[in-house]
Amino acid sequence: MPPKRNPLKLNPLQLKTLLLLQEIARIPGTTTAGADGEVVISSFPPAHGDHFHLGESVVSGKDATGLYKQEVWNALTRKGLARAEWPHRIALTPAGQSYETGLAGEILQRHAH
């Protein structure tokens, strides 16, 4: 039986935000190592008009609003996917790094800018 999709019942904004944090964590030089396998993110990509760049991907600004909302960071922390230190940094736990959001093809545009 395949794993249940979204077993922690994250809402759409939480799922988008988690996906973006996972992508930021995959870009070399954007994180520092934290305790117990966590990766710590303390800076976020700047907007470029109505979008921003994450490595080889382009993301619409409307899909990134959760990166700047304390409530979203707190929800990810409550679910054990992150450890938030709003507004300075957020650490993705190993569970947060591996959680399947199912949104990569929808949110991450992998084409030339």
Whether the predicted pLDDT of 104 surpasses 60: yes
- Tokens, residue 54: 């994450």
What the chain holds in terms of domains, given with CATH numbers, is 12-107 (1.10.10)
Q: At residue 93, what are phi and psi to the nearest 5 degrees?
A: -75, 165
Rounded-to-integer distance, Cα 44 and Cα 68, Å:
9
Pairing, β 57-60 against β 31-33: unpaired
Whether the predicted pLDDT of 113 surpasses 60: no
Tens digit of each residue's pLDDT (9 = 90 or more) over 59-90: 999 999 999 999 999 999 999 999 999 999 99
pTM beyond cutoff 0.85 = yes
Rounded-to-integer distance, Cα 11 and Cα 6, Å:
9
